[in-house]
């Protein structure tokens, strides 16, 4: 791995976990999870409630509470100080869910970025400051709206961008939405700053192949971002069930389904032989996370070894074609319930990335 994102609310309770990761010598940054503070569900997670930049533990954060310069500075500095305390390699200004261009939170977030950058500049040898954008992709399926968003955020002189995009996950089957996300990320890249596509699951491999700088994904579990997840009751409506990544199928599926697929002798060629799995097809929950990290590291390392974007697109398209064949093989067997709707997104990716490859070759 090149680095990792750690949820700010995990500390100090899970301090030993962070110390273990630090020993690996990797860069890391915090997800401030400030976007959770505007939803009442934040009160169900003690770690979030106790973050030092929570302004009111008994009420949601509102933009009205951040109208004055003093309030903006207090909030932004407390968020940055928390990250400095834990020696983050990159700092992230607080950001919130802005569904579309009409969201009043956009202007608040831009001011918070500016205040964060100004504050960090007063600190000697400080890390770079990144901006987070938390949005719904449907509003940006219009080129005009994508340009408007870039123009609004470009005034904040940040060192990079993190994107958390609702309506997009690794099984998105909407070609226009996926294309819109890719084009939006490319527009921000033209500002000359690194762009992170966050929680994009296996789709992230395609985004990397198409030229996006960085992708992040939850460890074999959280493979997307959604506003519905912010609204959900943590006790009853939040799915954190373990999943297992089947590389040959480019699918991250619930562990029981993965075990059903891989236990069939006809699918022996789909079993993983990484050091953690060793070809196993039972008790996958025990190795799901380390298997995922091992496999994803190898995949991204191979992508990075390819010299041109054309080669990267060709490699990923080959993976997609093989995955479609593997999924159809399992589906035809009839011994496991694998409807085409579970892997139809792969055909969408194939069409979109084929278009990207054609344009790349034409250039």
d(CA 130, CA 161): 5
pLDDT at 348 exceeding the cut of 70: yes
If pLDDT is split at 50, 70 and 90, which confidence band does 234 have? Answer: low
Lowest mean pLDDT among 32-41, 132-141, 224-233: 224-233
The answer, yes or no, to whether residue 236 has pLDDT greater than 60, is: no
**Confidence category of residue 102, pLDDT binned at 50, 70, 90:** very high
Assess whether pLDDT exceeds 90 at residue 240.
no
Predicted pLDDT at 221? 63
pLDDT score for 261: 97
Check: CB of residue 311 under 8 Å from CB of residue 207: no
Mean of the per-residue pLDDT values for the chain? 93
How many other C-beta atoms lie within 10 A of the C-beta of residue 343? 22
Cα(46)–Cα(92) distance, rounded to whole angstroms? 21
pLDDT of residue 242: 85
pLDDT at 275: 95
Helix (H) / strand (E) containing 85: helix 69-85
Residue with tokens 């994508």: 146
> By three-state DSSP, how is residue 171 classified?
coil
In this prediction, residue 222 carries a pLDDT of: 66
Highest mean pLDDT of the ranges 27-36, 167-176, 351-360? 27-36
Cα separation values, 36 from 33, 114, 160, 209, Å: 6, 21, 22, 31
Which pTM was predicted? 0.94
State yes or no: pLDDT of 244 exceeds 70. yes
pLDDT surpasses 60 at 114: yes
**What residue ranges define each of the domains in the chain, with the CATH number in brackets?**
3-231 (3.20.20), 243-362 (no CATH)
Q: Give how far Cα 345 sits from Cα of 232, 311, 313, Å.
A: 26, 22, 17
**For 6-52, what is each residue's pLDDT tens digit?**
999 999 998 998 998 889 888 999 999 999 999 999 999 999 999 99
Is 219 a residue whose pLDDT tops 80?
A: no
């Amino acid at each position: 791995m090149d680095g990792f994102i750690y949820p700010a609310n995990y500390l100090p309770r899970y301090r030993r976990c962070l110390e273990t990761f630090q020993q690996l010598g990797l860069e890391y940054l915090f997800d401030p999870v400030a976007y959770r503070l505007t939803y009442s569900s934040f009160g169900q997670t003690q770690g979030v409630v106790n973050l030092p930049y929570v302004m009111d533990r008994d009420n949601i954060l509102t933009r009205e509470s951040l109208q004055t310069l003093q309030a903006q500075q207090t909030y932004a500095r407390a968020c940055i100080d928390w990250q400095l305390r834990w020696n983050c390699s990159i700092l992230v200004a607080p950001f919130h869910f802005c569904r579309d261009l009409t969201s009043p939170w956009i202007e608040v977030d831009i001011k918070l970025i500016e205040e964060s950058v100004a504050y960090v500049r007063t600190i000697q040898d400080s890390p770079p400051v990144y901006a987070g954008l938390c949005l719904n992709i449907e509003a940006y399926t219009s080129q005009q709206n994508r340009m408007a968003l870039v123009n609004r955020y470009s005034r904040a002189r940040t060192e990079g961008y993190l994107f958390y995009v609702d309506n997009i996950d690794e099984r998105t089957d909407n070609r226009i939405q996926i294309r819109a996300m890719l084009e939006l990320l490319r527009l921000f890249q033209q500002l000359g700053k690194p762009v992170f596509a966050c929680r994009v699951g296996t789709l992230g491999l395609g985004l990397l192949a198409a030229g996006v700088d960085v992708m992040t994904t939850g460890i074999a579990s959280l493979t997307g971002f959604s506003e519905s997840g912010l609204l959900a009751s943590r006790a009853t409506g939040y799915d954190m069930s373990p999943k297992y990544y089947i590389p040959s199928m480019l699918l991250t599926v619930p562990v029981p389904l993965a075990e059903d697929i891989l236990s069939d002798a006809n699918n022996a060629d789909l079993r993983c032989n990484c050091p953690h799995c060793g070809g196993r097809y039972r008790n996958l929950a025990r190795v799901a996370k380390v298997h995922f990290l091992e496999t994803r590291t190898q995949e991204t390392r191979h992508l990075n070894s390819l010299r041109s974007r054309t080669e990267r697109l060709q490699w990923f398209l080959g993976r997609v074609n093989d995955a479609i064949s593997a999924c159809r093989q399992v589906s035809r067997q009839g011994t496991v319930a694998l409807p085409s709707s579970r892997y139809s997104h792969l055909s969408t990716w194939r069409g979109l990335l084929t278009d990207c490859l054609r344009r790349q070759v034409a250039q």
